[in-house]
Structure 1
Amino acid sequence: MPQAKRQSRKLGWRFVVLALVVMFLLTAVVRNVWTDVYYIPSGSMEPLLVTGDRVLVSRTDFALTPIKRGDVVVFDGRGSFTPWQSGRDPLTDAAVGAGQWLGLVPNNNIYVKRVLGVAGDTVKCCTAAGLLEVNGVPVTESYLYPGDKPSELRFDVTVPQGKLWLMGDHRSISADSRSLLGMPGGGLISTGKVIGRPWATVWPLGRVHVLKNDAATP
């Protein structure tokens, strides 16, 4: 009888371990194929996203429809916004990576910004009225942080094929494509670096909501 109980406990633990492994694998598949979760580390996209938000990011939206002006995108900034190497030892990198995967710590290589220019667009700041201009037409940006100007920095950029011009909604504190003018790549981000579209805030509980996608069109 005691042996039967031990055998039953062993089977029970094996079932629990197997269930955890299956759950982990299913979660990994969902997060790599369909939707992932990211931590917002700064206020550069306020008021839409605030520091500490956890957002769900669809990995499939842009496979079905092209990226357009006004879309908010999550993207990998390595090679453009951030350097390729972290400079940490492999063990630390693994621990930090686990925390990032769980959404407990920010991923310093991942950014979220709004698309203001797609291939063929000429994006310019600013008009006599202080507005951003796309292809010669002033853009009204209802999503800007209250009191912010479209940009304190003047620029005139034409976006080549396969690239995007990105800016944060809280323009006065956002480090974005403007910050990289004069650098290799000129502040333009490859469309291949886009991970997906944030579509909902899931934490903290008081901020759970579906995100509205305001268009940046003249």
Structure 2
Amino acid sequence: MKSTEIKFTAIPSTEEVKAERDRLAYRSRYGRVLRSTIYALVVVAAVAVLLATLFLPVLQVSGDSMNPTLEDRDILLLVKSDSMKTGDLCGFYWQNKLLLKRVIGQPGDVISMDEDGHVTVNGTVLDEPYVDELALGECDIRFPYQVPENRYFVLGDHRSVSIDSRSSVIGCVEKSQVVGRVFLRIWPLNRLAVF
């Protein structure tokens, strides 16, 4: 005759049941917190991208055409705008590149520049404390030059190396090309500045 073995499992104690319930509750809570943290990070990232795209573009300076005001590898925050005033630093698209220059002339202004690099707008010589070294630079336009409608005359602060509105390669910048006005230098931190 065959014997059947019956195995009995011990009934867990109240403490063991409570410990298991606490463990499962902790695991469930941990999962909820993890999911909500991930959702919050995704939302924050999406909002940051949306802000950067629509209102506050961020860009990194590449090159020396804006020295000493801006240096290579500075990171800037722009404010979206197509309305600039003389002296503003602006970012604009040119041949799928984003360039940074200073607005010197508005639509209709008459710009002149002498051999020494002194700039005159509508008969008034500009005081340009942001320029270390005045120079005529690369220039193939004839002065006096009248800025066409819906365009800005822009110059780099490092006049001897900057290619800007003095060159017919770039010329005057159309308002539709303007991305925005430089608002804040956010990097490097020791050179944080509002413009």
Same structural fold, with TM-score higher than 0.5 when normalized by the shorter chain: yes
Counterpart of 1:123 (choices 108, 111, 116) is 111
Structure 2, unaligned runs of 5 or more: 1-20
Q: 1:143 aligns to what?
A: 130
- Any conservation in 2 of the 1:126–1:151 contact (CA below 8 Å)? no
Cα distance, 1:130–1:154 mapped onto 2, change above 3 Å: farther
1:133-212 aligned at under 5 Å gives the runs 133-144=120-131, 146-151=132-137, 153=139, 155=141, 156=143, 157-179=145-167, 181=168, 183=169, 187-211=171-195
2:77 corresponds to 1:56: yes
Which letter maps to 1:206? N
Cα separation, 1, equivalents of 2:128 and 2:137: 12
- Any conservation in 1 of the 2:138–2:166 contact (CA below 8 Å)? no
Q: 2:9 aligns to what?
A: none
Which letter maps to 1:159? V
Cα deviation, residue 130, structure 1? 4.8
Which letter maps to 1:114? R
Cα separation, 1, equivalents of 2:102 and 2:152: 10
- Any conservation in 2 of the 1:117–1:164 contact (CA below 8 Å)? yes
Cα deviation, residue 190, structure 1? 1.0
Cα deviation, residue 3, structure 1? 4.5
Cα distance, 1:204–1:123 mapped onto 2, change above 3 Å: same
Cα separation, 2, equivalents of 1:21 and 1:152: 47
Q: 1:34 aligns to what?
A: 55
- Any conservation in 1 of the 2:138–2:163 contact (CA below 8 Å)? no
More divergent stretch after superposition (4-13 vs 193-202):
4-13
Cα distance, 1:130–1:38 mapped onto 2, change above 3 Å: closer
Cα separation, 2, equivalents of 1:75 and 1:153: 20
Counterpart of 1:23 (choices 44, 68, 92) is 44
- Greater relative CO, 1 or 2 (CA 8 Å, sep 6+): 1
Cα distance, 1:152–1:30 mapped onto 2, change above 3 Å: closer
Cα separation, 2, equivalents of 1:130 and 1:166: 14
Query: Deviation string for 1:165-185 (max 9, x for gaps)?
Result: 111000111122223x1x5xx
- Any conservation in 2 of the 1:125–1:154 contact (CA below 8 Å)? no
SS in structure 2 of the partner of residue 116 of structure 1: strand
SS in structure 2 of the partner of residue 123 of structure 1: strand
Cα separation, 1, equivalents of 2:130 and 2:109: 20
Q: 2:30 aligns to what?
A: 9
SS in structure 2 of the partner of residue 112 of structure 1: strand
Q: How many residues align?
A: 172
Which letter maps to 1:131? H
Larger Rg: 2
- Any conservation in 2 of the 1:37–1:57 contact (CA below 8 Å)? yes
